[in-house]
Amino acid sequence: MKTLYPWHQLAWDISFAGCAAQNLDEFKQKIADEFNRDIQLGRTPCWTEAGEPIREGAPFENQRQRVPHITVESANAWLKENQYLETWEPVVAPPIQQPTKLDESTLATPAELIDAFEKWGLKRDWFKDLNSRKWLLNARKKIGKGQRRRSIQPLFCPHEVMQGLVHRVRNPKRLSVETGWRTLEHKFPSVYNKYHFNDPRDRQGD
């Protein structure tokens, strides 16, 4: 059995692919109405999604539970018989991109970040008002959740927090580039391994 497509894909694909000079909505509806009429009456070959032939036709009220499917050949034969000049070539939808799974081994809680960077100016209160510090808000990769018996801490990217302290925070304890990378390497080795190629200390001897 050849590849099957839901019957309504014919009207959508043709109207958007080759009918710019016409009213697309009207043209799509015209094809859909005529094609579905013949499907209901059993005048054009169609199949179930599982590939079983629907020989007796497919009444409209049954189509939600058993959507008629067509092949490219059966659809183009119908177009030719009904004197449409278009040829149907199914438009393949792009694959759905799955969200990238967070690698929590390269993230840290506020407590872990405070332990590493508090002496360089990172303050506990900042995590209670992230909207006032966009760089810290952007470094948050997982939102925390409050629960009845225990809470789930938010997770931040230590590399981005370090970069923020180096480049964005102005205070007497401002973190230097060298100290920032040294702290990242010692406190968050898995994070450092991910970003070590950007470590400027590695290029000082070049």
pLDDT of residue 171: 66
Query: In the structure, what pLDDT confidence band is assigned to residue 20 with cuts at 50, 70 and 90?
Result: very low
CB 65 within 8 A of CB 77: no
Quick check: 21 pLDDT over 50?
A: no
CA R_g for the chain: 30
The pLDDT tens digits for 118-150 are 998 899 999 998 988 999 999 999 988 765 566
Give pLDDT tens digits for 32-71: 889 999 999 999 999 998 888 988 888 888 887 889 999 9
Cα 35 to its chain centre, rounded Å, is 34
Pair 79, 86: CB distance under 8 Å: yes
Average pLDDT of span 87-106: 77
CB-facing half-sphere around the CA of 193: CA atoms within 13 A: 6
Any bridge partners for residue 155, and if so which? 142
Per the confidence metrics, is the pTM higher than 0.85? no
84, 85, 129, 88: which is closest to 110 by C-alpha? 129
